[in-house]
Amino acid sequence: MKLVICAGPATTGKTSVLRHVVRRLLKKGSSPSYLKIDVLYADEQAIMEREFAIPSKTVYSGELCPDHCNVMVLGDALEWAENQKSDLLLVETAGLCLRCSPYVEGSLGFVVLEATSGMNLPRKIGPMLTLADMAVVTKIDLVSQAEREVFRARIKESAREIRVVETDALYGTGIDPLIKTISEAKEIVFPLYLRGNPPVGTCTICVGKKEIGWKQHFGVVRPLEGEIFYRGE
C-alpha cells in the first residue's frame, strides 16, 4: 500500500489535480482508493465515483480540526483501502489553521497552491508547504511569467528541497512529474507517524470553553504582551 496525501487551501484546484492523477494512474494499471477529509461540505467523492468508479469515501471533521481528524481516521482508512484491493490511498484534505500539516512519514505529501493567490502566499502557510515533498502550482495560465517565477522562488525560499510542478490543471499540462513521483513512492511501513509537530495545545479552548480572555483559561495560555506560560495546577 502506498499513501499519498494532498493538502492545500480551499479552491486551489486540489480535486482538479487529483482527477488528472487518478486518470493517469488508472492508465498505468494502478488501483487507487480516494479519501476526502473536509469540514463542512465536500462533493468530490461523487466526482471520483462517477468519473472513475474508484472506491471513495468522505469524512467530515465537523467539530474536530481536519488535520486532527486526519490523524484519527487514517489508520482505519488504510485498512479500508486494503480491503478494496487498492495499491494506493489518495487522501485529499483541507488545510486550515496553517500550523499543522497532514503529511505522514514514509508517504508522499504534496501541497496544491494557486499561482493567482499572490506572491506572498508561500511565506504564509507554514508546514503545509515546508513539510511537503512536492508543490503543485495551479492556474499558471492566468498569471504573468514574472509572477510565476517570483512565486516559484518564494516556494523554494520557504522549502528549499521541495520539487515544484507547475500545471494548468484544466488540461493537466505539466503534471507528469507528479505522476512519476507517485509511481516511484515507497510502500508504507507501520507504525506511521505525523511528519510535523502539532502546535502547542491551548486545551481549554479545544474542549469547548468559549469565554474570551486568557484569564478565563487554564493550561498553556498567553496574554497579548508576553510569552506563553502554564497556568493551573
Partner 1 sequence: MKIDSIKIMGGFDKSGANEAVEEVIFKMGDIASIVGPTGCGKTTFINDIELFANGDTPSGRKLLINDLPVNADEAVSDRHDHPVALISQHTNFLSDLPVQDFLEIHGSVRQHQNIPSVVEETLEFANKLTGEPLIRESPMTELSGGQTRALLIADAVIIGNAPIILLDEIENAGIHRTRALQLLKQYEKIFIFVTHDPRIALLSDFRIVMENGGMTKIIVGDEDEKAVAKEISKLDDVLLHFRTRIRSGEQLTSHELVAHLKSLGYLT
Binding site for partner 1 (CB under 8 A): 116, 118-119, 141-150, 152-153, 156, 163-166, 173-174, 176-177, 180
What is the DSSP secondary-structure string of 25-47? HHHTT--EEEEEEESS---HHHH
What is the DSSP secondary-structure string of 5-27? EEEESTTSSHHHHHHHHHHHHHH
Strands 163-166 and 56-60, bridge-based pairing: unpaired
Of the two residues 165 and 221, which places its CB atom closer to partner 1 in the complex?
Answer: 165
CB of 143 to partner 1, least distance (A): 6
The span from the first CA to the last CA of the chain, in angstroms, equals: 45
As given in the structure block, the three cell numbers for residue 4 are 499519498
What is the DSSP secondary-structure string of 47-80? HHHHHH---EEEEE-TTS-HHHHHHHHHHHHHHH
- 3 state SS of 136: strand
**For the stretch 196-219, what's the b/e string if a residue is b when 16 or more beta carbons lie within 10 angstroms of its beta carbon?**
beeeeeeebeeeeeeeeebeebee
